[in-house]
Amino acid sequence: MPRVIEYADDTACALEECHAALDSFGFDPREEESLLHAAHWLRRLGNNRDFLAEAMLAELKDPKGGEEDASAYGPQVIMLSPLGSEYFMRANFWPGHGDHVFRASGKSAFSYELPHDHNFDFLTVGYFGPGYASDYYEYDYDAVTGVVGEKAGLRFIERSTLDPGKLMLYRAHVDVHSQLPPESLSVSVNIMHAGGAQGWLDQYAFDVEQDRIARVISSGGSEVFLRVAVGLEHPDGLDLAENFAAHHVSDRMRLVALEAQAGILPPAERDALWRRAEGNGSRLVAGEATRRRRELATA
């Protein structure tokens, strides 16, 4: 389960002060001193009961339409710092059962009851409202290949709530949680670690009842670009997909390249592609290729 960090401090700080402190010291959750420094400033920011309202009002009053940048991470999120460094900050809004937006959009729009891990570390504090509850699990990321349907080895830890003021570290590829809607609208504030390798590390959704990997939920712009280029059957795109499928250093990108190629082939040729992929040299690609061939055979 995420690490609860007990940090007693009644001092409040402004958002700008928090930014300055993190910019000067950095945020590397793998280093205890850096982690506790960031937790110290997140605690202080959480004690400021006005900063978030002020940030949202500033965006609403911005004649240049700055609110588009503030919500660039999604409609459930307001960005509190720019992207592009080793960390960024955001506030997440969690609608409750009785909120109109929850009734209109449903639980999936807010990733409720979606057991998942994260491919990054982040600090979070309960800022407003009663907080969402989570069923927490742990698993060994290095022990799985990443094939859909693979046994995950999940270990249930507990159900607990991100209470107001509770400060936690979610650990990349360790902590799995299935969030439940809070009793009423709640807000959490996060400091997210943005490591350079993050884009190449998978984030999974899980079937906890079957203890299996349900799907991969992380994808980057490069994957989308490649799929589109191949889908348009551009010669350079086809050549690049063939090259990536055979030689890319990322197993996941090899698989994406194969999926893109398979998407424009008739079933018989698709089976031949996946049969060749079983000898790709990657356990992930081989496992997925076998699964795809099995699906084709039963289709």
| pLDDT at res. 224 | 86
pLDDT value, residue 8:
85
Q: Report d(CA 124, CA 91) in Å as an integer.
A: 9
Does residue 70 surpass a pLDDT of 60? Answer: no
Q: pLDDT for 207-260, tens place per residue?
A: 999 999 999 987 766 888 899 999 999 999 999 999 999 999 889 999 999 999
Rounded Cα gap, residues 150 and 24, in angstroms: 43
- Residue 158: which residues within 8 A CB-CB, separation 6 or more? 1, 135, 136
Q: Please check whether residue 118 is in contact with residue 181, taking contact to mean a CB–CB distance below 8 angstroms.
A: no
Q: Which residue, among 91, 242, 85, 105, has the nearest Cα to 181 in the 3D structure? A: 105
Query: How confident is the model over 10-61, as pLDDT tens digits?
Result: 999 999 999 999 999 999 999 999 999 999 999 999 999 999 999 888 888 8
CATH 2.60.120.10, applies to 3-216: yes
> From CA 47, how far away is CA 14, in angstroms rounded?
10
Among 17-21, 84-88, 179-183, where is mean pLDDT lowest? 84-88
What is the pTM assigned to this prediction? 0.88
Q: Which tens digits make up the pLDDT trace of 141-178?
A: 999 999 999 999 999 999 999 999 999 999 999 999 99
Distance of alpha carbon 241 from alpha carbon 258, whole angstroms: 7
Domain segments of the chain: what residues?
A: 3-216, 221-298
Whole-number Å distance between alpha carbons of 11 and 40: 10
The strand ranges marked E within the chain are 3-4, 77-79, 87-94, 122-128, 133-138, 155-161, 167-170, 175-180, 186-193, 204-207, 212-216
Select from 86, 21, 24, 89 the least CA-distant residue to 55.
89
Q: How far apart are CA 89 and CA 92, in angstroms?
A: 10
DSSP letter assigned to residue 108: G
